[in-house]
Amino acid sequence: MNYFDTSALIKHLIQEAGSQQVETLIIAELWLATSKVAYAEVHAALARRLREGALTHTAHQTISHSFDSDWRVYLRIDLVDPLLTLTRELVLRHPLRGFDAIHLASALRLQERTGEAVQFVASDERLLAAAKNEGLVTVDVRR
The full DSSP string for the chain is -EEE-HHHHHHHHS--TTHHHHHHHHHH-S-EEEETHHHHHHHHHHHHHHHTTSS-HHHHHHHHHHHHHHHTTSEEEP--HHHHHHHHHHHHHS---HHHHHHHHHHHHHHHHH-S--EEEE--HHHHHHHHHTT-EEEE---
Tell the CATH superfamily of the 2-140 domain: 5'-nuclease (3.40.50.1010)
The residue extents of the domains of the chain are 2-140
Mean pLDDT score of the chain, rounded to an integer? Answer: 97
Report, as an integer, the average pLDDT of 67-78: 97
pTM to 2 decimal places: 0.94
Mean pLDDT of 9-31: 93
pLDDT score of 30 more than 90: no
